[in-house]
Amino acid sequence: MRWDWIARFMTLLRCFFQRRIRGFDDGDLWNLDTHLAILIAPRLRAFRAKTLGHPAHMTAEEWEEILDKMQWSMDMLASGQVWEMDDMDERVQEGLDLFGKYFRALWW
């Protein structure tokens, strides 16, 4: 019983120092894809709401549609629902592919 408490305390202490030194702890590396989606989803939502322009080769409506697809994919990954819906894999992947393709266009 006593050793269990000490092990938990040491884990918490190690995680505290990892967060202070490098900005994240080892727990963030577990399901890193979900953790990143949790970080990206609200920022992408705010970007979509405030964006004033779009890439030169497309219209504003096309850009908004692409941002919506990216947002939907990040929301699904962040919520963990994607693992429960096999038929959503293609739709999620489409949003992730668009995110990768237009990553450099995500500036305000």
pLDDT at res. 1: 59
- What are the structural domain ranges in the chain? 1-27, 31-105
Length of the chain: 108
Stated pTM of the model:
0.76
Cα–Cα dist 62/60, whole Å: 5
Cβ count within 10 A of residue 5: 9
Residue 60 clears pLDDT 70, i.e. is over it: yes
pLDDT at res. 25: 86
pLDDT value at position 107? 85
Flag whether pLDDT at 82 surpasses 90.
no
